Structure 1
Amino acid sequence: MAIKKDTLDQLLAGRDPKEVFNKDGLFDELKKALAERVLNAEIDDHLEGEAAEGRKNHRNGYSNKNVITETSKLDIRIPRDREGTFDPKLIARYQRRFPGFDEKIVSMYARGMTVR
């Protein structure tokens, strides 16, 4: 999947290209946004599965988690459910260090995971 030139231009607008890969730069923002998007897709899938089983579970806000990757420290919002049965696959419960974070995000998209 190629990212469109216009999308890249929008992301880079008003930024110093030399700072894109710096700590808290565009690359870290993208990693955070992608991780949160995947986590939201995971909980949607989880809740759909529970509804199919006749359970009445719903979203119940977010909790913040600091995750340390090879290149940065990210503050990620992890979605919660009322029943407490949601166990994220991308970033497991109690996991703080995340070696291979970048590769895992890319591989999830390469496998064609549906992200809403």
Structure 2
Amino acid sequence: MPVHKKHHNTPESPTTRVSISPADVLSQESFHQHLRELIRGATRVVMEEIMQEELSLFLGAEWGESTSQRRGYRNGSYTRDLVTTSGRIEDLNVPRDREGQFHTQAFERYSRYEPQVAEALTEMFVSGSSTHKIGKVANTLLGVAPAPAV
């Protein structure tokens, strides 16, 4: 007896190949660049809020608040650049007190790199990678190449 073949109701379509034009690649790259900028902006806002809260706890009072527990006064802020895992954050506002005693825990004093970034760069250097290769990798991932002395 002959075996009947199954008939499919859906038409068979040839395998379609998705081709990406250079314009699509550029728009995708610009999208990712925009996304990285948004992440850096959000990181900046969160870090600045955390540092303001740290200063409030350090001083024992919120901005403009008079309490008997107050241990000092605010004295504006200074700006600094910080390289994070999200990339370089420029002109980060770091609050300060009048006595100069407040130091944030968000990053180490005088450090320009987030601790995780500095540790990763050090590990690459210790493992035998050249400073040139480390600079290329850091520039690709973070958008900034460290100085050879870092």
- TM-score, length-scaled by structure 2: 0.47
Query: What does the per-residue CA deviation read over 1:51-109, in whole Å, with 9 as the maximum and x for residues that have no partner?
Result: 63x64x100010101001133110210001000110111122112111448xxxxxxxx
Identity %: 25
Match of 1:77 in 2: 93
Match of 2:59 in 1: 47
Q: What are structure 1's unaligned runs of at least 5 residues?
A: 1-16, 102-116
Tell me the SS of whatever aligns to 1:21. helix
Q: CA RMSD in A?
A: 2.3
What is the one-letter code of the residue matched to 2:112? R
Distance 2:51 2:73 in 1: 15
Distance 2:78 2:87 in 1: 20
Distance 1:65 1:83 in 2: 19
Q: For 1:15-34, what aligned pairs fall within 5 Å after superposition?
A: 18-19=31-32, 20-22=34-36, 25-34=37-46
Q: What are structure 2's unaligned runs of at least 5 residues?
A: 1-29, 62-67, 118-150
- Would you identify which runs of 4 or more consecutive aligned residues in structure 1 move more than 4 Å? none
- TM-score, length-scaled by structure 1: 0.60
Structure with the bigger RCO (C-alpha within 8 Å, sep 6+) is 1
Query: What does the per-residue CA deviation read over 1:17-72, in whole Å, with 9 as the maximum and x for residues that have no partner?
Result: 934423xx2111100000000000000000008x63x64x1000101010011331
Residue 89 of structure 1 pairs with residue 105 of structure 2: yes
Tell me the SS of whatever aligns to 1:74. strand
